[in-house]
């Protein structure tokens, strides 16, 4: 064994050895319990960042721990490799997106391997590989056959300066990220998935996920946004239907204005050839340049459009407005304004001096509309509501809804905030949608035998606002699969969230050339036991993956109805209080840290510095501290290396020092086991290993050659290495080898602790006087109270503090605390 810890040599050595042994490759074993551990796969940008290091280190600890516990562990890795950055790089550098992506994958794979991560690289997938996206296209066709994929007109982001369609992520504060021109909206034919068909199941099945963070489930509940209420039909004076959805039909007599979304097609019709036409269209243009988020956050703005609606129950004439806070893609694109009982309506009515009419009174003081300082949205009894006066509002909701239904002016309805998933992207670097258009046959799905529809290597990027695939005649023009006549291909590509909505299933059978995956293999591994990734994916990716899994269950392709049994959303890595980013100039390169301190140190720090769900503040001194700790482990092992070479491990104790060491060994095993298995508290688990090393060093320093219990020392060192293995795998395997072991430490069983060995002969108890700590004393464990009182009162320091005082109470917390009240 070398005296010095040469991390770079041994890390390279063990990475090669693990690869040679195929240590991390796994196959189905129906005799063993499986454990599927997965971190969200990365976009191949070419460089790892500290967020990656944290995410993957957390996952690797769990994977290695579970393997040592005896599970058959699947721990795969791949690449979410379609998307806008590669397309932008192709435009900027004039290099094919496929080549840029492939080079980045090679580089990042090399970086991941330097971290010593236990991935089964035989299962590697890349979403931009035709062998993968062939099956993404196949799944699209299955959705299409089931009626879950359809095409309709929808608004997209349009940059008039670049003359191109922008994805939502290309719009920054309402402007084009390239030229900063205000973005407009444009209607285009788009493909959608009918995720709304699964809204109830997506909502209800959240109850089946106790292993998910509550905040993530709440975010999904809010995104789905299930609301029970009524759709009510108002009419304009000219007879147009104005259908609004409301959860509060009991407030219908309090409607003082109607609001249409600026994009609503009826707006243009109502203002045509009137004095309101020009200002209303100017307002619409301004609002259309804003994102939905900006419209929700900005000050409420609106315009009266010169038209009126008629209240179906009261007959009141109600002014119609357009406003920025009403969205076309939520509800019916119009709302009834009840300012006395809705805060948003109250703010709008107050600003524009619209009437505020109270129709729900609480018990107690009467509300007056002109004196309200905020809306009253709570329960009460109806007033100013004709024959419904006096009814409790919950009862009035039912009665008014029934009456509207009988008159044909409304109906009970459930609505959702969730909208169908728009998957069309007018981009090149994405999965081609497998549809062709024939003048004779219409919309024709590409037959499964003709998949994949391959992306061309090169396309011309022109600011036309259309997909670059339209510029490639070889791709665009094709033969109709039905009639053999001339046809053209769909040139939209799929949203990259489609690719990542089923990749976890492909990992279960990554080399399958005849199906996306074999059901028997998928059913063995699914669902994912532990999924790890950022909370920023709480809604879109996680919602889409759940949707896909439910559709595939319905298609009888898998027996899993939820993709991820447990979810851990790790915190960010910060430096100087801010998220690491190139723009802030606070990025720390993982490669530099690994080169200077080694991968084991980088892993250990990122796991030790904070609990995984919390943000982690980067600290160079903390990295150095972890490096010093590993050197301490190495030096201690070197000190005992020759002494214990031919010694077998043993647990026989001869004196109190031996007993203390044995207790520390089993205490560390229990602490690390519980912290990793039950809580993922890696920081406290590592702390327990550090304490064990302290105890071993104390033992070394307080014993002489004659009193050394070398079998016990070997037992301690072996267990230290086993506990360290998931966290710092390279040094652990080297130390295991130095202990004379012939197989990898990562093939060993996880150590078990002995409860009896944890029992203390002595305990340290805090002694307080009137709640203030005055002394700490050692006593035999479970000493009877009379003897305990006697020993405390005989202690010299306590006797002095009690002089001239009377003890009124003697409080004892067994084996922990004594409080004298005087």
Looking at the structure, tell me whether residues 736 and 626 fall in a common domain.
yes
Q: Residue 107: its pLDDT value, please?
A: 95
3-state secondary structure 460-485: CCCCCCCCHHHHCHHHHEEECCCCCC
Give the lowest-confidence range in 287-291, 492-496, 772-776.
Answer: 287-291
Looking at the structure, tell me whether residues 204 and 237 fall in a common domain.
no
Looking at the structure, tell me whether residues 707 and 656 fall in a common domain.
yes
Question: Cα dihedral sign for 63, 65, 66, 72?
Answer: positive
- pLDDT category at 134 given cuts 50, 70, 90 is very high
Torsion angle, alpha carbons of 291, 294, 295, 301, to 10: -130
pLDDT one-digit tens code per residue, 537-567: 888 899 999 999 999 999 999 999 999 999 9
More confident residue, 779 or 69: 69
Q: What's the gap between Cα 97 and its chain centre?
A: 28
For residue 163, the number of C-alpha atoms closer than 13 Å in the C-beta half-sphere is 5
Question: Distance between CA atoms of 154 and 437, rounded to whole angstroms?
Answer: 19
The answer to whether 822 and 770 have CB atoms below 8 angstroms apart is: yes
Looking at the structure, tell me whether residues 753 and 783 fall in a common domain.
no
Q: 535, 570, 605 — which closes off a domain? A: 570
Report residue 40 as tokens. 């969200």
**Residues contacting residue 618 through CB under 8 Å, at least 6 positions apart:** 50, 573, 574, 575, 580, 588
Q: Residue 461: its pLDDT value, please?
A: 83
User: Residue 522: is it exposed, middle or buried by C-beta count within 10 angstroms (0-12/13-18/19+)?
Assistant: buried
Residue 763: pLDDT above 90?
Answer: no
Residue 408: pLDDT above 60?
Answer: yes
Q: Residue 463: its pLDDT value, please?
A: 67
pLDDT one-digit tens code per residue, 77-103: 999 999 888 888 888 888 999 999 999
Phi, psi dihedral angles at 768 (to 5 degrees): -115, 150
Residue 169: pLDDT above 70?
Answer: no
* DSSP summary character for residue 377: -
Looking at the structure, tell me whether residues 750 and 792 fall in a common domain.
no
Looking at the structure, tell me whether residues 383 and 234 fall in a common domain.
yes
The answer to whether 534 and 40 have CB atoms below 8 angstroms apart is: yes
Q: Is residue 585 part of a domain?
A: no
Rounded to 10 deg, the angle between the 50-68 and 599-608 helix axes is 90
**CATH number for position 769:** 3.10.20.590
- Tokens 């064994």: give the residue: 1
User: Residue 683: is it exposed, middle or buried by C-beta count within 10 angstroms (0-12/13-18/19+)?
Assistant: middle
Q: Is the peptide bond before 197 cis (omega within 30 degrees of 0)?
A: no
Strands 360-361 and 381-382: what pairing? antiparallel
Write out the residue range of the structural domain in which residue 788 sits. 762-821
Q: Is residue 216 part of a domain?
A: no
Q: Is residue 594 part of a domain?
A: no
Q: 415, 441, 457 — which closes off a domain? A: 415
The overall average pLDDT reported for the chain is 93
Question: Distance between CA atoms of 359 and 340, rounded to whole angstroms?
Answer: 8
Q: Residue 162: its pLDDT value, please?
A: 62
Question: Cα dihedral sign for 390, 395, 397, 401?
Answer: negative
Looking at the structure, tell me whether residues 746 and 773 fall in a common domain.
no
Question: Distance between CA atoms of 515 and 518, rounded to whole angstroms?
Answer: 7
Q: What's the gap between Cα 144 and its chain centre?
A: 28
Residue 394: pLDDT above 90?
Answer: yes
pLDDT one-digit tens code per residue, 453-474: 999 998 888 766 678 999 999 9
Give the lowest-confidence range in 309-323, 400-414, 568-582, 715-729.
Answer: 568-582
3-state SS class at 109: helix
Q: Residue 406: its pLDDT value, please?
A: 96
Question: Distance between CA atoms of 181 and 378, rounded to whole angstroms?
Answer: 44
What is the enclosing helix (H) or strand (E) of 644?
Answer: none
Q: Is residue 726 part of a domain?
A: yes
**Distances in Å between the alpha carbon of 461 and those of 82, 96, 428, 468, 482?**
17, 12, 9, 6, 32
Q: Is residue 161 part of a domain?
A: no
Residue 56: pLDDT above 60?
Answer: yes
pTM greater than 0.75 (yes/no):
yes
Residue 509: pLDDT above 70?
Answer: yes
- Tokens 């489930």: give the residue: 217
More confident residue, 369 or 163: 369
**CATH number for position 439:** 3.40.50.620
Residue 164: pLDDT above 70?
Answer: no
Report residue 79 as tokens. 């690449």
End-to-end CA, the chain? 61
Rounded to 10 deg, the angle between the 620-641 and 599-608 helix axes is 120
Question: Distance between CA atoms of 807 and 822, rounded to whole angstroms?
Answer: 4
**Residues contacting residue 316 through CB under 8 Å, at least 6 positions apart:** 255, 310
Looking at the structure, tell me whether residues 348 and 367 fall in a common domain.
yes
SS3 content of the chain, % helix, strand, coil (to 5): 40, 20, 40
Looking at the structure, tell me whether residues 311 and 411 fall in a common domain.
yes
Give the count of domains, the chain. 4
Question: Distance between CA atoms of 579 and 576, rounded to whole angstroms?
Answer: 8
Question: Distance between CA atoms of 90 and 666, rounded to whole angstroms?
Answer: 57
Residue 298: pLDDT above 80?
Answer: no
For residue 646, the number of C-alpha atoms closer than 13 Å in the C-beta half-sphere is 0
Q: 758, 789, 805 — which closes off a domain? A: 758
Selection from 159, 198, 128, 152 nearest residue 493 by Cα = 128
Q: Residue 75: its pLDDT value, please?
A: 98
Question: Distance between CA atoms of 379 and 80, rounded to whole angstroms?
Answer: 49
Mean pLDDT of the 730-743 span: 97
The answer to whether 459 and 468 have CB atoms below 8 angstroms apart is: yes
Q: What is the DSSP string of 321-362?
A: EEETT--TTSTTSEEEE-TTT-HHHHHHHHHHT------EE-
**CATH number for position 402:** 3.90.740.10
Partners of residue 436 on adjacent β-strands: 444, 489
Q: What's the gap between Cα 493 and its chain centre?
A: 25
More confident residue, 422 or 12: 12
- Tokens 């059913």: give the residue: 523
b/e map of 606-633 (b: 16 or more CB within 10 Å)? bbbbbebeeebebeeebbebbbebbebb
More confident residue, 447 or 153: 447
b/e map of 387-422 (b: 16 or more CB within 10 Å)? ebeebebeebbeebbebbeeeebbeebebbebbbbb
Residue 719: pLDDT above 60?
Answer: yes
* ∠ Cα 710 713 717 (to 5°): 140
For residue 711, the number of C-alpha atoms closer than 13 Å in the C-beta half-sphere is 7
Q: Residue 584: its pLDDT value, please?
A: 76
Looking at the structure, tell me whether residues 775 and 753 fall in a common domain.
no
Residue 762: pLDDT above 80?
Answer: no
Q: Is residue 176 part of a domain?
A: no
Q: Is residue 817 part of a domain?
A: yes
**Residues contacting residue 382 through CB under 8 Å, at least 6 positions apart:** 250, 253, 359, 360, 361, 388, 389, 390, 391, 393, 396
Q: Is residue 577 part of a domain?
A: no
Q: Residue 293: its pLDDT value, please?
A: 63
3-state secondary structure 44-88: CCCCCCHHHHHHHHHHHHHHHHHHHCCCEEECCCCECCCCHHHHH
b/e map of 704-730 (b: 16 or more CB within 10 Å)? eeeebbbebbbbbbbbbbbbbbbbbbb
Looking at the structure, tell me whether residues 372 and 428 fall in a common domain.
no
Looking at the structure, tell me whether residues 271 and 237 fall in a common domain.
yes
Selection from 740, 751, 721 nearest residue 600 by Cα = 721
- pLDDT category at 170 given cuts 50, 70, 90 is low
Computed on alpha carbons and rounded to an integer, the radius of gyration of the chain in Å comes to: 34
Q: Residue 675: its pLDDT value, please?
A: 96
């Amino acid at each position: 064994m070398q005296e010095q810890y040469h991390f770079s040599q041994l890390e390279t050595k063990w990475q090669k050895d693990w690869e040679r042994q195929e240590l991390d490759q796994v196959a189905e074993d129906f005799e063993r319990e499986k454990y599927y551990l997965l971190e969200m796969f990365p976009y191949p940008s070419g460089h790892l960042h500290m967020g990656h290091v944290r995410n993957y280190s957390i996952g690797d600890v769990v994977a290695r721990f579970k393997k040592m516990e005896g599970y058959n562990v699947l721990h795969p890795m791949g690449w979410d490799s379609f998307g806008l950055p590669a397309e932008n790089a192709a435009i900027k550098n004039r290099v094919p997106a496929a080549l840029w992506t492939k080079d980045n994958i090679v580089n990042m794979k090399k970086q991941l391997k330097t971290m010593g991560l236990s991935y089964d690289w035989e299962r590697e997938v890349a979403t931009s590989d035709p062998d993968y996206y062939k099956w993404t296209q196949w799944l699209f066709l299955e959705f299409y056959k089931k009626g879950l994929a359809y095409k309709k007109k929808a608004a997209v982001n349009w940059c008039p300066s670049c003359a191109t369609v922008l994805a939502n992520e290309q719009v920054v504060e309402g402007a084009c990220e390239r030229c900063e021109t205000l973005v407009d909206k444009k209607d285009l034919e788009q493909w959608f998935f009918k995720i709304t068909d699964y809204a109830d199941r997506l909502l209800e099945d959240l109850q089946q996920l106790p292993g998910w963070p509550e905040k993530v489930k709440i975010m999904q509940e809010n995104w789905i946004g299930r609301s029970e209420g009524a759709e009510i039909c108002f009419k304009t004076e000219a007879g147009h239907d104005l259908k609004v959805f409301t959860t509060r039909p009991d407030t219908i007599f309090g409607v003082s204005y109607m609001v249409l979304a600026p994009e609503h097609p009826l707006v243009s019709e109502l203002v045509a050839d009137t004095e309101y036409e020009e200002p209303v269209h100017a307002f619409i243009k301004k609002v259309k340049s804003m994102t939905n988020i900006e419209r929700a956050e900005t000050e409420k703005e609106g315009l009266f459009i010169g038209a009126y609606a008629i209240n179906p129950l009261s007959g009141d004439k109600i002014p119609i407005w357009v406003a920025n806070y009403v969205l076309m893609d939520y509800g019916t694109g119009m709302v009834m304004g009840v300012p006395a009982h809705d805060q948003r309506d109250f703010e709008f009515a107050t600003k524009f001096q619209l009437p505020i009419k109270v129709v729900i009174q609480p018990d107690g003081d009467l509300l007056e509309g002109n004196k309200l300082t905020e809306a009253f949205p709570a329960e009460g009894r109806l007033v100013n509501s004709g024959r419904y006066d006096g009814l409790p509002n919950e009862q009035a909701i039912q009665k008014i809804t029934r009456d509207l239904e009988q008159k044909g002016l409304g109906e009970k309805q459930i609505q959702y905030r969730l909208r169908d998933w728009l998957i069309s992207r007018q981009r090149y670097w994405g999965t081609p949608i497998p549809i062709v258009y024939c003048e004779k046959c219409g919309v024709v799905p590409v037959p499964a035998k003709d998949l994949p529809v391959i992306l061309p290597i090169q396309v011309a990027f022109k600011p036309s606002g259309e997909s670059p695939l339209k510029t490639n005649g070889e791709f665009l023009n094709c033969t109709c699969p039905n009639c053999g006549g001339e046809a053209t291909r769909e040139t939209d590509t799929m949203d990259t969230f489609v690719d990542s909505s089923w990749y976890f299933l492909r990992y279960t059978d990554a080399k399958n050339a005849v199906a996306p995956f074999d059901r028997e293999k998928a059913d063995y591994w699914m669902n994912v036991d532990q999924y790890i990734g950022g909370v920023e994916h709480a809604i879109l990716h996680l919602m889409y993956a759940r949707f896909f899994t439910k559709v595939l269950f319905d298609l009888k392709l898998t027996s899993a109805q939820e993709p991820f049994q447990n979810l851990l959303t790790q915190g960010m890595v910060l430096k100087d209080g801010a998220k690491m980013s190139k723009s802030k100039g606070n990025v720390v390169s993982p490669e530099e840290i690994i080169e200077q301190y080694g991968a084991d140190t980088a892993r250990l720090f990122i796991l030790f510095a904070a609990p995984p769900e919390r943000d982690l503040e980067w600290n160079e001194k903390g990295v150095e501290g972890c490096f010093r700790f590993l050197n301490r482990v190495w030096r201690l092992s070197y000190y005992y290396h020759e002494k214990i070479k031919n010694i077998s491990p043993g647990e026989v104790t001869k004196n109190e020092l031996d007993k203390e060491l044995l207790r520390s060994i089993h205490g560390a095993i229990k602490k690390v086991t519980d912290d990793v298995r039950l809580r993922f508290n890696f920081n406290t688990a590592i702390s327990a290993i550090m304490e064990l090393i302290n105890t071993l060093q104390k033992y070394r320093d307080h014993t002489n050659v004659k009193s050394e219990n070398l079998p016990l020392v070997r037992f301690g060192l072996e267990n230290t290495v086993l506990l360290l293995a998931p966290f710092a795998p390279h040094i652990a395997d080297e130390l295991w080898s130095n202990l004379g072991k012939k197989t990898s430490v990562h093939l060993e069983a996880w150590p078990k602790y002995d409860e009896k060995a944890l029992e203390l002969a002595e305990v340290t108890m805090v002694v307080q006087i009137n709640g203030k700590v005055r002394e700490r004393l050692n006593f035999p464990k479970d000493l009877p109270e009379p003897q305990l009182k006697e020993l405390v009162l005989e202690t010299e320091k306590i006797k002095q503090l009690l002089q001239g005082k009377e003890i009124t109470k003697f409080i004892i917390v067994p084996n922990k605390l004594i409080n004298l009240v005087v």
